[in-house]
Each structure stands twice: as structure tokens, then as C-alpha cells.
Amino acid sequence: MDEDKIDKIIEEHRTDKSELIPILQDVQAEYNWLPQDTLRYIAKRLQVPLTDVFGIATFYKSFSLKPRGKHLVRVCLGTACHVRGGPRILETAERILGIKTGETTEDYKFTLESVNCLGCCALGPVMVVDNEYYGKLPPTKVEKVLHKYGYTSLSSGKGGET
């Protein structure tokens, strides 16, 4: 943990404990996850109970207490996407990246998640990489989408570069 970086983030929010969620969002944007030692440091600096900080970090799905990849890949499994092939999109992404849902590639380039709904049912099945939506996606196009984010091939191992 780089205390100077964390201090800068906290100070940008005026060291105001009511800014805890935006502070955690900024820390997660910096590190792609919320390390436990960082959460302890934030609690101490803001003078809030550690249980409050962990409570927020574990309540919101957007926060992660495990290291995430540089690129977050989410596949919708809501009803509309499910009936249009969402599970096949997810299976294809798992096979291509060499990981299961909820895991991160060894090189920390990709994290794969499933979600219950992305709110764009007419576009199903949908995969989102970072905040870019790919609708009406056939399984045959999943690898092409991942290439845009630096994926090269399964043979290079766990989504890494060759």
C-alpha cells in the first residue's frame, strides 16, 4: 500500500467520513481492488469503525476484496440474455480465458463475472468489457472482443500475451 496515494485520495475528499464510498471507489480505481491493509488505514484516517468500512466494502458488488484484472468482463445471465445464449457466452469466455466465473487470469489482465441483469434486455445476449457493451453477441465473436483488450490466445496460457 502506498500511503501517499491513499492520503491524496482521502484529502481530495476533504478527509470527510461522509465521503467513504467515493473514497473507496477511488481507491478501487487505483488498485482494481480494496486491500485489507488499505481499508484499515482508511478507517484510521477517517476515524470511523473498521466494521463500517468493511461493511460498505462487502455490501456493494462493485467493490472487490480480491485482486481484479485490469479488464472486467461481465456476462449477463438475466432471463432475456439466458434464453438468447448468455450461458454459452459465459462458457466461451471461460474457455478462452482459461478461468471460471469469479476468477482472474494469472497475469491480472482479465476478471470474469456473471451478472443477473445489465438492463439492456433487447440486446441480449450481452457481454460488457470494462464499460463497453457488446450486444446480440454470438459465442463466435467473444474472442474477437477480448482481442480488443489485449487477449492474444489460449495457447499463451490464462489469457496472457505471447
Mean pLDDT of all residues in 1-20: 91
pLDDT surpasses 90 at 94: yes
> Is the pTM here over 0.75, yes or no?
yes
In the chain, where does the domain assigned CATH 3.40.30.10 lie? 71-156
- Residue 57 to residue 65: CA distance in whole angstroms: 8
- pLDDT above 60 for 158: no
Who wins on pLDDT, 16 or 140?
Answer: 140
Q: Determine which helix (DSSP H) or strand (DSSP E) holds 50, and give its type and residue range.
A: helix 50-59
pLDDT of residue 161: 43
Confidence band of 15 (pLDDT split at 50, 70, 90): confident
Q: Return the percentage of the chain with pLDDT > 70, whole number.
A: 94
What mean pLDDT is predicted for residues 107-129?
96
Q: Is the pLDDT of residue 159 over 60?
A: no
What pLDDT does 18 receive? 92
Mean pLDDT of 79-107: 97
| pLDDT category of residue 16 using cuts at 50, 70 and 90 | confident
- The 10 Å Cβ neighbour count of residue 122 is 8
Q: Which CATH number fits domain 71-156: 3.30.870.10, 3.60.21.10, 1.10.287.540, 3.40.30.10?
A: 3.40.30.10
53: cell is 468500512
Residue 160 has pLDDT above 70, yes or no: no
Check pLDDT > 60 for residue 81.
Answer: yes
Architecture of domain 3-59: Orthogonal Bundle (1.10)
As annotated, the residues of the chain forming the CATH 1.10.10 domain(s) are 3-59
CB burial string 34-54: b at 16+ within 10 A, e below: beeebbebbbebbeeeeeebb
- Give the length of the chain: 162
Q: Is 9 helix (H, G, I), strand (E, B) or coil?
A: helix
Q: What is the pLDDT of residue 115?
A: 95
Pairing label, strands 110-115, 71-76? parallel
**Is 88 a residue whose pLDDT tops 60?**
yes
Instruction: Average the pLDDT over 42-53 and give the result.
Output: 96
